[in-house]
Structure 1
Amino acid sequence: MLQIAVEKVCDVIIKALALNSSYEEEGGDDFVDLPVIDDEMEFSEKEDDRYIELRRVINKFNIEEKQDLVALAWIGRGSFGADEWEDALAEVDNINPEHIADYLINMGQLGDYLEEGLSELGYSSEEFETGIR
């Protein structure tokens, strides 16, 4: 089913939650959507490092791994059910693989969606919870 190791997904989850936490600190809200990222945005050094690291990690994955991340995120946010994995993957084909990292990073609750997606697919939270929260 998954073409990406759960450990790799966990690495993305940890980095996405860290990036999102920098925005939460600014607003003080329980959750703040990440802004749409573009090349002209200015970040603080801490945010910039987190963004660059998350983007670097995702871009190191092969196409199948990137597509799995998107499908997992969609399942985690409820766009597809766990039984619709193949449908989600078919839909991911509409996203240019070169833009998947940016697409995912601009998904405000990426870490939460990936975590929920893993759970929906039957991966025990004990497999990844220790390093995430």
Structure 2
Amino acid sequence: MLELNPERVCNIIQLAREFHAKEAVVIPEMPNNPGDDWALQVLADHRDDPVYRELKYAIGDMEPDQQAQLLALSWLGREDYALEEWDTALQTAGENLLSSSPEQIIAIPYIADYLEEGLRLHGYDCDA
């Protein structure tokens, strides 16, 4: 069961779409080594971008368990997990959440689409 406020997630989706739509934002595929700090390296060039800062703040202002839910929601939307596996996705997200979780989440390619699909699978719609 989703314990995040869907409106808050929709706001993050909107900010992510706006940020990722910028021409200068290039986020590579996931690295082979999960310890790579590739997300921090890619996003470092954008720290002065007001949309990036707002998006980072919106995610960073969440409690760690909420950030884990956001990460799990993206995995659900990416079809890494089925809705029936939500509890497992949450547990795995909590275990894999980095101290740099806002950057970790922002750096996921197509994050807005994945979050939107994850919300839809939970019965929520940002357009409603």
TM-score range, shorter chain: 0.7 to 0.9
Contact 2:4 2:69 in 1 (8 A): yes
Q: Deviation string for 1:33-55 (max 9, x for gaps)?
A: 5353428833495xx21111111
Other-structure match for 2:32: none
Identical aligned residues as a percent: 29
Unaligned 5+ segments in structure 2 are 29-38
- Partners of 1:8 and 1:84 in 2: how far apart? 23
- Partners of 2:42 and 2:16 in 1: how far apart? 19
One-letter amino acid of the structure 1 residue matched with residue 27 of structure 2: L
Offset, 1:122: 2.0
One-letter amino acid of the structure 1 residue matched with residue 90 of structure 2: L
Other-structure match for 2:84: 83
CA RMSD of aligned residues (A): 2.3
CA 4–55 in structure 1, closer or farther in 2 if over 3 Å, else same = same
Structure 2 residue 9 is the aligned partner of structure 1 residue 16: no
- Partners of 1:83 and 1:44 in 2: how far apart? 37
- Normalised TM-score (structure 2): 0.80
Aligned residues: 118
Other-structure match for 1:113: 114
Other-structure match for 1:49: 50
One-letter amino acid of the structure 1 residue matched with residue 92 of structure 2: E
- Normalised TM-score (structure 1): 0.78
Unaligned 5+ segments in structure 1 are 27-31
Other-structure match for 1:65: 66
